[in-house]
Structure 1
Amino acid sequence: MPTTPLIVDVDTGIDDSLALLYLLASPEAELVGITCTAGNVNARQVAINNLAWLELCNGPDVEVALGAEVPIIAPLMTTEETHGPQGIGYAELPAPTRTLSTRHATQVWIDNARKRPGEITGLITGPLTNLALAVKLEPELPLLLKRIVVMGGAFNHPGNTTPTTEWNVAVDPDAAKIVFDAFSVVPDDRRPVICALDVTERIEMHPHHIAELARAAGSTPDEIISPDDEPGRRSQASNKVIRHLSDAVRFYMEFHRLYEQGFLAHMHDPFAAAVALDPSLATVREATVDVELAGTLTRGQTVADWRGMWGQRPNAAIVVDTDPAEFFRRTIDRVGALARALG
């Protein structure tokens, strides 16, 4: 099976965690490096979460590097109310013994891209700060990478942070602007793939998905998350991956219910990970994308010119459709098998 070399840039929260599990469970994913940025929680906690998931899953000895701890200009926002005080909901992962790289995240991006020009796909599921800083240091980076897949933005869809703005872009809109501008030079077949809220909010994880994952992992007893449970109930699953994943996702479901979105969890980041490995999972439409930086009400809004009104060539392939059931089938098969193997 051909492999996909990946640099994964994350702000590990709950859905980033499942994205990592999806990649660890996918034999075609070659993790070249994991870079950490502030977003869902502070960057150092993000790094701890990444190391802990790798260790729990007996993952490869991949380089995990700390990156930007603050946005380029804006003050840092984090969202512990969405992802929990450590970013992983109610899960309490064992403290990792693995250590962080001595290199900065930007150096991981640049050195690996230079070493393997045209080979590496970048997957960014947090704010775009690290990639923006790397592009400033190495302007050729967009041409050195094979492609990037970004979870971020909202186009014909409401925002989830402000009425018009998605979280990852809202944290560092200046970085998003830098990246979209920089990647305008890439060939048509290597345009950034943007997984925005328009589609990712259709990737709804429900309690039955967790139950199916647990069955696939051979975990006992039946893993039942119910909206009638008292808040904060902890999993008793025999399988360690299922137990921690269930505790993380329960927190996320409780958050979504609190904000009247239903007892479910939007799995934005795992979907982007799946698309990075198999672009055929997504239907895309090309557009020219820019980021509003000056609006008093709309700073951070991602704007797509679908019709060429700006007279500029497209710089992004925006995901406009997918099959959520197929995504969850793959997730359950892959992560379930990984969990079963780990016991």
Structure 2
Amino acid sequence: MALVYLFGSPDAHLVGVASTAGNVGVHQVCENNLGLLALCGVTGVPVSRGAEVPLAAPLRTAEDTHGPQGLGYARLPAPSARLTDHDAAQAWIRAAREHPGALIGVATGPLTNLALALRAEPALPRLLRRLVIMGGAFDYRGNTTPVAEWNTSVDPESAAEVFAGWTGAPNPPIVLGLNLTENIAMTPELLSRLAEAARSPSAPMSELDDRGTASTAGNALIRVLEDAMRFYFEFHHDQGEGYLAHLHDPLAAAVALDPDLVTCRAAPVDVELTGTLTRGMTIADWSGHWGREPNALIGVGVDPAAFFDRFIDRVGAFAQTLSRR
């Protein structure tokens, strides 16, 4: 949904996709990214394969949350393009060098690839115009452990390296943690609004539906989004959170294009790596106890209605263009 938002944004020029192992293995993530490009008729956007495992820990994936292929019940067409010959870390570096001072980076998974890129090119923070990270939880519960958010928990070493690497950079990353992104709750009603905006209405979803009920939308993109969201709705429902889904990553994509969508507070951030109970926890030193300069702009406020208005307008209009092809 984050990528589709960018496809539908006239102010975005996507120069590459770095596939990241996290919700499923990196091979499947590559297939998903290439398949989505094929579905959306997007050409000329290189997709690169990232690291198979985190920097220092075994890979954990989240098929229980996102399905065995990482897309819930959705099915994508076979890819029509191939991966780049270079890996995702090199993709970061090449793009930053080709667009110095102009490139906006968006990281919506574990930060393994970005950390590897930073090791190879320490000037990366000064080459990027802006970086938006979806990850962490600040003064808020975790969703993987009592204190840790999924992306950071999968590879806390890479997150710690990225925050350290951005210390002293002129543009600290904008960091959107669970404390902010869990305000962006997709519901069946909002999905129905999206289908109507795409002029492809479908049967409204409900927790009373049979598991895996397929979308009836005529638009292929809306079908994929609804089938993906149904699995995610069911997961949240089983967790006792309601028949909804938190759109963490699409908010990051939107903020990459327009930081004014959120209010932020600067602080030094670090990641706990050795705590028996707190590994992967993101800590913001709001009061300056560490004596360090801020290395992050932490999202602390967002207007969900404003985000969803923009998301539905852009993705709905983009889906309409696919129907006319």
Please indicate the TM-score interval, normalised by the length of the shorter structure: over 0.9
Q: Which runs of 5+ in 2 are unaligned?
A: none
Match of 2:182 in 1: 201
Q: Tell me if structure 2 keeps the 8 A contact 1:210–1:223.
A: no
Match of 1:339 in 2: 319
Q: Which runs of 5+ in 1 are unaligned?
A: 1-17
Q: Which portions of structure 1, spanning 4 or more consecutive aligned residues, are displaced by more than 3 angstroms? A: none
TM-score, structure 2 length as denominator?
Answer: 0.98
Match of 2:199 in 1: 218
| 2:92 pairs with one of 109, 130, 155 | 109
Q: Tell me if structure 1 keeps the 8 A contact 2:203–2:215.
A: yes
Deviations along 1:197-240, whole A, 9 cap, x unmatched? 001001000000110111011114x3311111011111121111
Q: Secondary structure at the match of 2:212?
A: coil
1:115 offset after TM fit, Å? Answer: 2.3
Where is the strand percentage greater, Structure 1 or Structure 2? 1
Separation of aligned partners in 2, 1:106 and 1:211? 38
1:60 offset after TM fit, Å? Answer: 3.3
| 1:44 pairs with one of 14, 27, 33 | 27
Identical columns (%): 56
Instruction: Give the alignment's Cα RMSD to 1 decimal.
Output: 0.8
Separation of aligned partners in 2, 1:257 and 1:334? 28
TM-score, structure 1 length as denominator?
Answer: 0.93
| 1:301 pairs with one of 281, 288, 311 | 281
Q: Tell me if structure 2 keeps the 8 A contact 1:241–1:339.
A: yes
Separation of aligned partners in 1, 2:80 and 2:43? 14
Q: Secondary structure at the match of 1:30?
A: coil
Q: Tell me if structure 2 keeps the 8 A contact 1:292–1:301.
A: yes
1:116 offset after TM fit, Å? Answer: 2.0
Separation of aligned partners in 1, 2:27 and 2:288? 42
Query: Which residues in structure 2 correspond to 1:1-343 (within 5 Å)?
Result: 18-187=1-170, 190-220=171-201, 222-343=202-323
Deviations along 1:20-48, whole A, 9 cap, x unmatched? 01000001111111001100000010011
Separation of aligned partners in 2, 1:140 and 1:110? 9
Separation of aligned partners in 2, 1:99 and 1:114? 23
Q: Secondary structure at the match of 1:49?
A: helix
Q: Tell me if structure 2 keeps the 8 A contact 1:214–1:223.
A: no
Q: 2:65 is matched by which residue type in structure 1?
A: T
Aligned length: 323
Q: Tell me if structure 2 keeps the 8 A contact 1:124–1:151.
A: yes
Q: Secondary structure at the match of 1:184?
A: coil
